[in-house]
Chains A and B, each alone.
Chain A
């Protein structure tokens, strides 16, 4: 309904001007966002940033920006933070020695809270920040959605995400630095049947890309080796009470329980499993490696088995040195940081070999030769998978720590 004096246009004009002003302010502020933005503390945001070195003014000695994305807060944050620490250890060492091609490395890090919904937003942010390569993301669920974004922008991506789909998309600029789920789930399936004598297994997974993926690989290998799977059960991440599912499994009386998922739920599963008086063997994938699973599982975690892609940190001189440096810098034991270290090492070495910071040159250099890292010599297949399959290491939780007991191939 219109009044006779139509003053609505003044309000509209004011709103339009204010909006325009706001846009101008945001656009100007946006240029300095990577180095001056304060940490965002609302419960739903997904970005915090750190820089490894101060910026210099001359263009040819400007820092090389490398992106980093993982879940740094929320569930799985322990792994994400550890991963970042590994990257920063290398960066601090290299920058102190003069940097790469005479330029300092600057890490632009983003936190996606280990949530696939945030991963794409964060990926776009990193692309817009002008990074030349990206380390991330840490888990399969958050990595797969970002593959297209980085590849379209010509940015090579190095990730430890183990789901086979990561290297099955026909992208030639993604590189995986560890064995994939075929190995983790598959090797373990065979191992549990042959070496641990488990004839029947119940499977629990969290319906996410990583958890379900590795559980399916386990099932396929376990059944192929001759075992029987009594049931496959899904749980929801974020849930805390799994007693009902576990009681149901108790009724099936399997020899072992396989859990595909992350430590937050995994710890609760093993805790409640033991509280229900179930004594089955229990094994889970690499996300259960490290202190979080042990802390949440409490006394229930004792005796649980964890498959992990990395060998123990005292098994080679390079790893021992890394362990010592890491403890000196961060005052705690690393568990996935070695992959962060090698990821940034690969990028730095590729930049040196290619003598360029162009994405396609870095990718070409990574495909071309073998680069020696602290964990192994890295050579990549066409699709970015680690050449030569993989050895999976089995650890057992003893006295509150992961102790190496075996390896499979």
Chain B
């Protein structure tokens, strides 16, 4: 039972990170029907910005607590802001000029942005995995036999706060409602006087900001960042968003958490379930098989909405 609980904790943390990244994909797709290839790399960019700042400042856990706190907060802010800016730049230079072009052109454009971001990270940060400085208190506490590190608690809590914050923003504020309105019908929204360009920009800012913060959390949790980390995580997060219901914010959260739990339980129990035939290395196959099954039975995703198509 303790092992199950431990796997649950592992899965929740993993899932929280996927969920944060999935939000960015789902928001852009819901509004523009565009799979933003570059989003995974904005997640990576957040991690890299934090690594650069933390390495430059050179703070270690040996410094007084308040200094460490300020430095870490600074890293988060910089990463979130940096990714948001990169997202804005993506919108301005890679999307807006061809906003009325066929979808395929926009897709290639963001793919190009993705490649550029990866290569810039590689050229500036080096080809090797970069070690992320340990700045979060390393302790853990035990709930029975389950070991939970402080950083795991932090990630779950922070992700929850961010996700709830986004949900409230989109559903309860006026600005958020303009996003919903534009998503429902772009032209009607424009006719109603909504500044759709602002809405598009906002979408390209909120998603990447969350992604950038997730990138910092990833770096802190695993102690490493690498310039290809956006690629695999991006694909997984996008799949999670689709399974949750593309376009739905709660769907993305659900999908991300589901994927994290599937990977965790998959790796943990697969050999038991298959009598040793398939080991933990089949974890990704298992997780994605389940996701495919979900889509076969419910193509619009778990919380899929019927979003009116753009004319």
Contacts and interface: CB of A to CB of B under 8 A. Distances in A.
Are A and B a genuine interacting pair, yes or no? Answer: yes
A270 to B, nearest CB: 11
Given A41-B123, A43-B119, A243 B281 contact: no
Interface in B12-63: 14
A234 B268 contact: no
A114 to B, nearest CB: 11
B11 to A, nearest CB: 8
Interface string A260-292: 000010001001000111000000000000000
A20 B12 CA distance: 59
B269 A75 contact: no
A77 B14 CA distance: 28
A323 to B, nearest CB: 24
Contacts of B118: 43
Contact of A276 (B6, B123, B232): B6
A244 B7 contact: yes
B271 interface: yes
Nearest to B265: A244
A199 interface: no
Contacts of A277: 140, 142, 147
A296 B138 contact: no
A296 B128 contact: no
Nearest to A240: B222
B265 to A, nearest CB: 7
Contacts of B6: 247, 250, 276
Nearest to A206: B281
A198 to B, nearest CB: 22
Nearest to A231: B271
A6 interface: no
A207 B281 contact: yes
B128 A75 contact: yes
Contacts of B115: 43
Given A74-B128, A247-B268, A276-B6, A234 B279 contact: yes
A298 to B, nearest CB: 6
Nearest to B140: A275
B281 A234 contact: yes
Nearest to A275: B149
A77 B131 contact: no
B176 interface: no
Contacts of B11: 244
B142 to A, nearest CB: 7
Nearest to A244: B267
Interface string A201-231: 0000001000000000000000000000001
Interface string B106-144: 000000000100110011001111010010001010100
A192 B26 CA distance: 51
A248 B3 contact: yes
A241 B222 contact: yes
Contacts of A74: 127-128
Nearest to A276: B147
B106 to A, nearest CB: 23
B10 interface: yes
Of the listed residues A247, A271, A299, the one surrounded by the most CB atoms of chain B closer than 10 A to its CB is A247
Given A74-B127, A248-B268, A232 B279 contact: yes
What secondary structure prevails in chain B residues at the interface with A? helix
B244 interface: no
A244 B13 CA distance: 12
Among A74, A78, A271, which residue has the most Cβ atoms of chain B within 10 A? A74
Nearest to A233: B280
B3 A247 contact: yes
A295 B265 contact: no
Contact of A244 (B122, B222, B280): B280
B267 A42 contact: no
Interface string A234-251: 111010110111011011
Contact of B10 (A238, A243, A268): A243
A314 B10 CA distance: 44
A160 B134 CA distance: 34
B283 A244 contact: yes
A299 B136 CA distance: 13
A308 B52 CA distance: 34
A151 interface: no
A86 to B, nearest CB: 19
A250 to B, nearest CB: 7
A238 B142 CA distance: 30
A263 to B, nearest CB: 10
A118 interface: no
Nearest to A247: B6
A364 to B, nearest CB: 39
A42 B120 CA distance: 10
A73 B128 contact: yes
11 contacts: A43-B119, A73-B126, A75-B128, A233-B280, A240-B222, A241-B222, A244-B267, A245-B280, A268-B224, A296-B129, A298-B134
Interface of B: 3, 6-7, 10-11, 14, 115, 118-119, 122-123, 126-129, 131, 134, 138, 140, 142, 147, 149, 222-224, 227-229, 232, 263-269, 271, 279-281, 283-284
Given A247-B3, A296-B224, 16 more contacts: A73-B126, A75-B128, A77-B128, A233-B280, A240-B224, A241-B222, A244-B7, A244-B263, A244-B283, A245-B280, A247-B6, A248-B267, A268-B223, A295-B131, A296-B129, A296-B223
